[in-house]
């Protein structure tokens, strides 16, 4: 029995980046329907922090940044078109 860690185990920073990415995606979707200027800027900031923490080939932080940017634009468009407050 070997006590060495396998190469497939993720570093703690990669796990934290994954969690931050998921939180960012959830906050972006919430910001899509409820006060987009309150949620999506912080969601994009979390996504950028997650992207900085993750390895170069990680897809989830990239998806979190893309979802945050798209939800920001679409959320503001929905809020303006329906005369709802943006913040």
pLDDT digits (tens, 9 = 90+) for 22-78: 999 999 999 988 889 999 999 999 999 999 999 988 999 999 999 999 999 999 999
* Structure-token match 């920073």, residue found: 13
Given this model, what pLDDT does residue 9 score? Answer: 72
CA atoms of 82 and 74, how far apart (whole Å)? 12
Q: How far is CA 1 from the centre of its chain?
A: 39
Q: DSSP assignment of 34-67, as one string?
A: S-HHHHHHHHHHHHHHHHHHS-TT-SHHHHHHHH
């Amino acid at each position: 029995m070997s006590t060495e860690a396998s190469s497939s185990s993720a570093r703690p920073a990669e796990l934290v980046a994954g969690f931050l990415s998921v939180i960012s995606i959830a906050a972006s979707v919430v910001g899509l329907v409820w006060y987009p200027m309150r949620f999506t800027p912080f969601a994009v900031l979390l996504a950028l922090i997650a992207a900085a923490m993750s390895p170069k080939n990680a897809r989830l932080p990239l998806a979190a940044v893309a979802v945050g940017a798209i939800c920001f634009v679409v959320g503001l468009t929905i809020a303006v078109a329906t005369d709802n407050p943006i913040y």
